Chain A
Amino acid sequence: MNPIILECKGLSKRYANALYAVDNLNLSLERGQIVGLLGPNGSGKSTLIKLINGLLIPTGGTVLIDGMPPGIETKKIVSYLPEQTYLSPSMKVADAITYFTDFYHDFRPDRALKMLKDLDIDTNARLKTLSKGAKEKVQLILVMSRDAMLYILDEPIGGVDSAAREYILRTILMNYNENATILLSTHLIQDIENVLDRVIFLQNGRTVLNATVDEIRMEQRKSVDVLFREVYRC
């Protein structure tokens, strides 16, 4: 088994007439880690995530997932939670479960149903009738109910209250196996610092730091949150 689950070599993305959102980025992630992708708004986090998922075409460089460029085979092993609601509002929660069961062979409906029950979410409810927070929980439950090799979560705790945040983080921790990797983008560092193994700081589409949380604490004697504030001080 390839120990590297994600590799970016000279990866760049420039939008029309704009600066590079991701600029000659080199990155290598091993299996079995929870990685925080951190950076202020506009640092290139979402662009990088979209490039990994094949939603954007790179301007230059390559991205490899388990040694393969984004395509059918990588989509089978990557479970992606975008920032926005990507389920049709007219769908019932139960329809969304059927949809995931139909398309993802690694989807575990029993696991999803149990989590929905824990959160008192009615499977017969249409998504448009749910609150924003409930919709985000449904999406996270669907994504975490897959036995994927790489979970990519774009701002999974951004729009929910602190109680829900705790449940979501617990859900993430309980539902991935030790060989899987979680790449988690957020700006709410304090809330997730304790679950992270490694952090990547992005600025202007470039990596400014790629270190384990232990390295930061031992060598710099700072928490990730404090270091983040220092690096991105305005």
Chain B
Amino acid sequence: MLRKLIKYDLKAMNRYLIIIHVFMLSACVLIRVFLTGRLFAEGVDFNSQKYFLPLVLFFTLFTILISMMAFATHLVIAIRFYKNLFSSEGYLSHTLPVTSGQHLLSKTISGSIWGIINMISLHIALFIVAATPYVISFVSENKAEIMEKLGFTGSRPSGSFLGFLLLYIVVCLIGTATNVILFYSAITIGQLISGHKILGAIAAYFVINTTVSVAALIITAYTGLLGASMNLSTAVDSIKYLKDSLIMNGIFSFIQTAVLYLVIYWIMKKKVNLD
């Protein structure tokens, strides 16, 4: 039954999210052709006033684009969760011979799958716009120096690049599930506020986010990471700080996801009323 639920969840989200992602990647190709392909090229002086405006335009356009795509993706995932479980469609979903736990797991897996696709697309988008032939040849020619400056090689290396990359991927994956669960928890808590369910969900989102941010700040200060961030003098220190931050972030996100998942499960099983 779980596989069937996931199949239908993905099917419902695919048609919107495929369009959104194809649009975004196409826009990135246009940015590459008309902007970055000309900007990040041989003989371009980045200090020149002439390139200032196109550079600002590129960063602005790209930031807006990827932010919109990430927002739209999470919005579609959240709407699917709300509509399928708590709107009129919920009358069918909740009378299927499946448990609340299977519903939640299916939504978490399907939401996370699209969250991961979104994350990969963001990196592909960045590659499309930034990896011009000039940038690629610059990186490959200066690879050894870049790695040394970043602190992955040299006399005092702070760890292997592959290890760092793996850590980054793992934390990204956990973060994707955390984002999905954050939206689901806000929507589920909102269902408890009879008559103002959507408003309740928005309020719950901000309350959870603020609580998590305060908790993260306290933990960062307690573990000494906050002090370290204010005392970064070398690239080696920066990479070490980044690594520690990623580990801390991964552990914190994992705990946050687990706690919120259990809260959603409990509410869905014991408290939710479809009225």
Residues of A at the B interface (CB closer than 8 Å) are: 15-16, 50, 53-57, 71-73, 75-76, 78, 80, 82, 84-88, 99, 102-104
Contacts and interface: CB of A to CB of B under 8 A. Distances in A.
Interface stretch (B92-100, B144-152, B240-248): B92-100
B91 A86 contact: yes
A30 to B, nearest CB: 23
Given A15-B194, A102-B4, A72 B91 contact: no
Nearest to B83: A88
Interface in B66-112: 83, 88-92, 94-99
Contact of B270 (A50, A57, A72, A78): A57
Contact of A82 (B83, B91, B194, B270): B91
Given A55-B94, A75-B95, A102-B4, A15 B88 contact: no
Interface of B: 1, 4, 8, 12, 83, 88-92, 94-99, 194, 270-275
Contacts of A56: 273-275
B224 to A, nearest CB: 46
A59 to B, nearest CB: 10
A86 B92 contact: yes
B95 A78 contact: yes
B4 A50 contact: no
Contacts of A73: 97
Contact of A103 (B4, B83, B272, B274): B4
20 contacts: A15-B194, A50-B275, A55-B90, A55-B91, A57-B272, A57-B273, A72-B98, A73-B97, A75-B95, A75-B96, A76-B97, A80-B91, A80-B95, A82-B88, A82-B91, A85-B88, A86-B89, A88-B12, A88-B83, A103-B98
B1 A103 contact: yes
Contacts, number: 61
B12 A104 contact: no
A86 B88 contact: yes
A78 B97 CA distance: 10
A55 B4 contact: no
B106 to A, nearest CB: 12
Nearest to A73: B97
Contacts of A80: 91, 95
B242 to A, nearest CB: 44
Contacts of B4: 102-103
B94 A54 contact: yes
Contacts of B99: 71-72
Contacts of A50: 274-275
A99 B142 CA distance: 56
Contacts of B94: 53-55
Most buried by B among A54, A86, A99, A104: A86
A121 to B, nearest CB: 19
Contacts of B194: 15-16
Contacts of B95: 53-55, 75, 78, 80
